[in-house]
């Protein structure tokens, strides 16, 4: 059978399996392994050879899995995940929320804005959108509901704030993108800073306008704090500021690589938690157990994707795809808009990691053919995946917030609130597409 046909069929089967919710790692790895076996065992013009197919397939799987899992850059993933869990148990991330909550106590919608700042701070430590939505949902939603905030505002604010974890460094999606496109993780992290802050600012503006139009959704708190209390709360947030400085400032200043920043931030969070007596043995154990589970799941998915990339390369599907696009004489902007539309549609049905790993083997050669910067394109991809995290019917962050808030908010009402934020998300996406300097300014000036 023609290898290109096998590759095209394999892609279609993987897409179908992901749509029916087969785990990503199994879908990518198993289909890729079967297709690779067929390519080697059933070569055009030759008879079927079982032994040749098995030996070549097992060798390919072994070499791909070994090389990928022994990558130095991959070691930062469990360290960032562990730092996030430790910071949560040591209440480092909670201190950010409390500080902003106290300072904005009298501001209309202040708790919602504080939730967004808390999610932004959490994202700057953990790098996981769903972890951010899950952890901050437990803290922020009950607090907003206690002050009679609208469930729609409470749920949608945290769900949207959680998406900042995909863009504000460190970002697990950026790490995976870097490894599969052979780009610098440090440059990608810095490229996400300005777009992440733009997104955060856009969300805050959305809350302010929403509350101004309908004040009933966020009653003003009848509580005041003395200036001393405000400054004490702000000083309590210094560990979070230190962690952000280690990750962003350390990388930008050339002090750390991204992997070294992960190790230093984990060590700092652990030392602070133990020395401040906020972190007991049970919390440390739970943090590392959760880190092991999350990392193992991510590595399994990544290995499956690595085998799938080998299948795409082996069968020449990418080359055929690029030839078809180039033959259509589309302009660069038409191709970019088509890619953006593809990601938005796939994000409705598939989770972000599955969407990215499934599409990168096809879109990266196409983007390179137009001479576009892959760092900038990585920000665009992650921004599109971020939007998919809150787009119905999949909207993973929305369901995470609904599940951890003890039924204080439901997914349907949250989706209605999310619609307001999606408009500003699309505006930011347009700005990033039109002005690449927004993404490339910091990476281009790093030491």
- pLDDT per position as a tens digit, 171-189: 888 988 998 898 999 999 9
Find out whether 141 and 158 touch, Cβ atoms under 8 Å.
Answer: yes
Structure tokens at 426: 């699309």
pLDDT in tens, 324-335: 877 788 888 888
Omega of the bond prior to 170 within 30 degrees of 0, cis?
A: yes
Please give the Cα distance from 309 to 313 (Å, whole number): 6
pLDDT attached to residue 381: 94
- What pTM was estimated for this model as a whole? 0.87
Q: Please count the residues of the chain.
A: 447
Token output for 220:
């003003």
How many CA atoms does the CB half-sphere of 331 hold within 13 Å? 3
pLDDT of amino acid 221: 67
With b for 16 or more beta-carbon neighbours within 10 A and e for fewer, the 379-404 pattern comes to: bbbbbbbbbbbbbeebbbbbbbbbeb
Confidence at residue 204, expressed as pLDDT on a 0 to 100 scale: 93
Residues 6+ apart with CB under 8 A from 241: none
Provide the sign of the torsion angle of the four alpha carbons 418, 419, 422, 424, taken in this order. negative
Name residue, tokens 């401040």: 276
Separation between Cα atoms, residue 35 and residue 39, nearest integer Å: 6
The residues of the chain scoring below 50 in pLDDT are none
Cα–Cα distance measured from residue 233 to residue 250, given in angstroms and rounded to the nearest whole number:
25
Task: Count CA atoms closer than 13 A to 109's CA, side-chain side.
Answer: 21
Which residue is associated with the tokens 């990168």?
A: 360
* 341 CB-near residues (< 8 Å, 6+ apart): none
The reported pLDDT for the residue numbered 45 is: 67
């Amino acid at each position: 059978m023609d290898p290109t046909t096998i590759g095209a069929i394999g892609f279609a089967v993987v897409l179908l399996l992901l749509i029916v919710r087969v785990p990503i790692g199994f879908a990518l790895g198993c289909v890729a392994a079967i297709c690779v076996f067929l390519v080697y065992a059933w070569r055009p013009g030759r008879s079927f050879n079982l032994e040749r197919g098995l030996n070549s397939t097992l060798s390919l799987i072994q070499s791909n899995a070994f090389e990928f899992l022994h990558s130095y850059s991959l070691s930062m993933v469990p360290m960032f995940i562990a730092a996030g869990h430790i910071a949560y148990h040591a209440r480092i991330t909670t201190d950010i929320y409390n500080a902003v909550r106290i300072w904005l106590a009298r501001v209309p919608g202040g708790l919602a804005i504080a939730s967004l700042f808390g999610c932004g701070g959490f994202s700057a430590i953990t790098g996981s959108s769903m972890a951010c939505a899950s952890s901050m949902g437990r803290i922020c939603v009950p607090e907003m509901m206690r002050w009679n905030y609208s469930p729609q505002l409470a749920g949608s604010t945290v769900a949207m704030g959680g998406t900042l974890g995909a863009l504000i460094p460190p970002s697990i999606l950026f790490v995976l993108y870097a490894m599969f496109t052979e780009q610098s993780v440090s440059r990608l992290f810095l490229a996400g800073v300005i777009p992440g802050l733009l997104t955060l600012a856009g969300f805050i503006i959305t809350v302010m306008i929403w509350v101004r139009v309908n004040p009933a959704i966020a009653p003003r708190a009848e509580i005041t704090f003395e200036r001393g209390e405000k400054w004490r709360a702000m000083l309590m947030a210094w560990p979070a500021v230190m962690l952000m400085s280690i990750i962003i400032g350390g990388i930008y200043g050339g002090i750390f690589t991204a992997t070294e920043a992960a190790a230093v931030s984990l060590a700092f969070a652990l030392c602070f938690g133990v020395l401040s007596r906020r972190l007991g043995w049970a919390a440390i154990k739970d943090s590392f157990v959760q880190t092991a589970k999350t990392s193992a799941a991510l590595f399994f998915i990544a290995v499956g994707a690595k085998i799938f990339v080998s299948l795409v390369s082996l069968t020449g599907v990418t080359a055929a795809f690029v030839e078809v696009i180039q033959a259509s004489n589309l302009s660069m902007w038409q191709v970019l808009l088509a890619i953006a539309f593809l990601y938005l549609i796939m994000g409705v049905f598939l989770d972000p990691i599955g969407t990215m790993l499934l599409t990168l083997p096809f879109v990266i050669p196409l983007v390179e053919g137009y001479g576009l910067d892959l760092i900038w394109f990585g920000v665009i991809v992650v921004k599109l995946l971020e939007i998919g995290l809150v787009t119905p019917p999949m909207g993973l962050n929305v369901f995470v917030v609904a599940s951890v808030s003890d039924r204080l908010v439901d997914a349907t009402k949250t989706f209605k609130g999310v619609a307001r934020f999606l408009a500003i998300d699309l505006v930011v996406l347009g700005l990033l597409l039109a002005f690449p300097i927004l993404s490339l300014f910091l990476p281009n000036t790093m030491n």
